Amino acid sequence: MGEAAEYIRQLECHELDHRFQADARIAAFANTDDLDELDALCLKASEFPGEQDCGSMKALRKELIRDLTICLGDIMRRYIRANWVIRGQQSDEGQPYESWVLMLHTDEGHFSLDVEGYVTDRFNREEGQTFGQFVEACICRLQHIPGAYLGGYGPINHNH
């Protein structure tokens, strides 16, 4: 069994296109500035054609998770100093697994936040935190790291 190697890389050109088009693609289904609507879309989208696991449905789900990840991460970037990077796991067997990660810049160094991992878990209903709760939890943790929290953040009011 080969040993896995982790790597982080900058976005490639086609990924930059995804990054800048995600908002428009999701806007047809939810207000991309509303964490509750994005969360509801994530949960609702996980339900449609779940019984069909054809290749095109898997690709569509992966694209939706990526777009939701970008929208959620871009909301977070309003409050923290961060940029998008791709984190990958390269192993001897099979294809590498790559995910969208926010690289946070602080006075104490750099930290990564696996936003796509969270969205994927939420999509698959494995994560109990709503998008709003996820953002609040991240901001609360980051407020205690010098240089990570930029401000402009106020508690999110939820109806639930």
Please list, in sequence order, all residues whose beta carbon lies within 8 angstroms of the beta carbon of residue 133, skipping any fewer than 6 positions away: none
Instruction: Identify the pLDDT of residue 106.
Output: 84
- The beta-strand segments (E) located in the chain are 5-9, 82-90, 97-106, 109-113
| CATH topology (fold) of 5-142 | Four Helix Bundle (Hemerythrin (Met), subunit A) (1.20.120)
pLDDT, the chain, mean: 84
Write down the domain spans for the chain: 5-142
pTM: 0.84
Does position 76 have pLDDT exceeding 50, yes or no?
Answer: yes
Residue 67 phi, psi dihedral angles, 5° rounding: -65, -40
- Residues 3-53: pLDDT tens digits? 568 889 999 999 999 899 999 999 999 999 999 999 999 999 877 655 455
Instruction: Identify the pLDDT of residue 81.
Output: 83
Q: Taking a C-beta distance cutoff of 8 angstroms, is the pair 111, 104 a contact?
A: yes
